[in-house]
């Protein structure tokens, strides 16, 4: 078993998943504005260190993805943030892309930037304690999108990123996100997501990536946010599994879904059903941002010094996600707090 495969399995095994706390300062400011908390370095640190020191970290969170600001911060009691995360047995990850910018040649679409100087930045992040990384490619979906250009350019960037990350001794999370926005059907989401994922693996193969030392972070197969289609958790699970079974090579150890705008309960229920129906060898777990943090953030915003209360809310969500990653979640358990 390679070192990178060991790291990937440590993050994903035993009902654990990933806490995506890598919101850029601009995105975190939006999240804090929405609950009327001032976004400054201290408040961003306070919320995050509250989550990272929660009791559920050791059982439910195998890895935490950080943003550049956070990986360099010290907690108010002196430990660095990576030290705090590692103390619970969880691994530190880092978002290394520099965001999605307008794609020349198809101006509605975006290409993720950040390859220039990446080799040097990775060395720095490794020294700071990172053992895995994230890069997100983002795709519009409609009749004409994603364009061939966007599918190809983003897959190329993801593969170049993955090669540099493995060279630096870390596990790359490959995140091709087909957005939920739009009127499209779940079937369209299946077709387009399949095209996107299959192109990613074509490029990853070209760059000789050790797939056993990678994690895929895809969207689930869902109808568009503005579509009227009603679809059950079971159907979502079926389509999602079909997509992954047909397009992800079997040497990939695990898949950690993004929540992408689903509510906490939707993201939990869908992951649970995916695991109940799982007819693949992939570990199926979570790499949630909003679906792990939303309720905790709302609670915390009412009294930012109520650490224990905030942790209780986060712990419940993390436990529910962990049960879902094992196909053991139910509405009854959800409601017994
Ligand atoms: P969400 O779960 O809120 O979609 O965030 C996950 C993530 O890291 C998106 O890049």
pLDDT of residue 337: 65
Longest dimension (CA), the chain: 53
Residue 205 Cα, ligand 1 centroid: separation in angstroms?
25
- Residue-number span of the structural domain to which 324 is assigned: 3-334
Domain total of the chain: 1
Residue nearest atom 10 in ligand 1 by C-alpha distance: 136
Residue 24 Cα, ligand 1 centroid: separation in angstroms?
11
- 235-245 pLDDT, tens per residue? 999 999 999 99
- Cα 103 off chain centre by: 23
Would the CA dihedral through 172, 22, 113, 130 be positive or negative?
Answer: negative
Tokens 């929660």 label which residue? Answer: 54
> What is the pTM assigned to this prediction?
0.98
Residue nearest atom 1 in ligand 1 by C-alpha distance: 289
Would the CA dihedral through 70, 204, 160, 103 be positive or negative?
Answer: negative
Is residue 217 among the annotated active site residues?
A: yes
> Which numbered atom of ligand 1 lies nearest the CA of 65?
8
Identified catalytic residue from 110, 192, 199, 217: 217
- 89-130 pLDDT, tens per residue? 999 999 999 999 999 999 999 999 999 999 999 999 999 999
- 31-84 pLDDT, tens per residue? 999 999 999 999 999 999 999 999 999 999 999 999 999 999 999 889 999 999
Protein residues whose CB sits closer than 6 Å to any atom of ligand 1? 20, 136, 175, 258-260, 288-291
- 296-329 pLDDT, tens per residue? 999 999 999 999 999 999 999 999 999 999 999 9
Q: With beta carbons less than 8 A apart as the criterion, state whether 246 and 197 touch.
A: no
Residue 294 Cα, ligand 1 centroid: separation in angstroms?
12
pLDDT of residue 77: 86
pLDDT of residue 1: 78
CATH code, domain carrying 111: 3.20.20.70
């Amino acid at each position: 078993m390679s070192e990178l495969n060991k790291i990937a399995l440590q993050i994903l095994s035993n009902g654990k998943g990933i806490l995506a706390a890598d919101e850029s300062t601009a995105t975190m400011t939006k999240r804090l504005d929405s609950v009327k908390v001032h976004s400054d370095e201290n408040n961003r640190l306070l919320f995050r260190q509250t989550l990272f020191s929660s009791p559920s970290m050791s059982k439910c969170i195998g890895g935490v993805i950080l943003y550049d600001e956070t990986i360099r911060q010290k907690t108010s009691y002196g430990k660095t943030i990576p030290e705090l995360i590692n103390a619970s047995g969880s691994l530190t990850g880092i978002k290394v892309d520099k965001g999605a910018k307008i794609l020349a040649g198809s101006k509605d679409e975006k290409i993720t930037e950040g390859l220039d100087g990446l080799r040097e930045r990775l060395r720095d992040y490794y020294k700071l304690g990172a053992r895995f990384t994230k890069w997100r490619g983002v795709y519009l979906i409609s009749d004409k999108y994603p364009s061939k250009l966007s599918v190809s350019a983003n897959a190329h960037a993801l593969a170049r990123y993955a090669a540099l990350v493995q060279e630096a001794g870390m596990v790359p999370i490959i995140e091709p996100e087909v957005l939920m926005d739009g009127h499209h059907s779940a079937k369209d989401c299946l077709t387009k997501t399949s095209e996107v994922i299959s192109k990613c693996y074509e490029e990853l193969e070209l760059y000789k990536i050790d797939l056993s030392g990678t994690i895929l972070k895809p969207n689930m197969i869902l109808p568009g946010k503005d579509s009227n289609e009603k679809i059950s958790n079971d159907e979502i699970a079926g389509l999602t599994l079909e997509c992954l079974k047909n397009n992800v090579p079997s040497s990939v150890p695990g898949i950690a879904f993004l929540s992408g705008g689903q509510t906490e309960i939707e993201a939990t229920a869908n992951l649970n059903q995916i695991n109940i129906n799982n007819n693949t060898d992939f570990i199926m777990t979570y790499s949630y941002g909003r679906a792990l943090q939303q309720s905790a953030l709302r609670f915390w915003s009412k009294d930012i010094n109520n650490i224990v209360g905030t942790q209780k809310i986060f712990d419940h969500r993390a436990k529910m996600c962990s049960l879902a990653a094992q196909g053991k979640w139910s509405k009854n358990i959800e409601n017994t707090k």
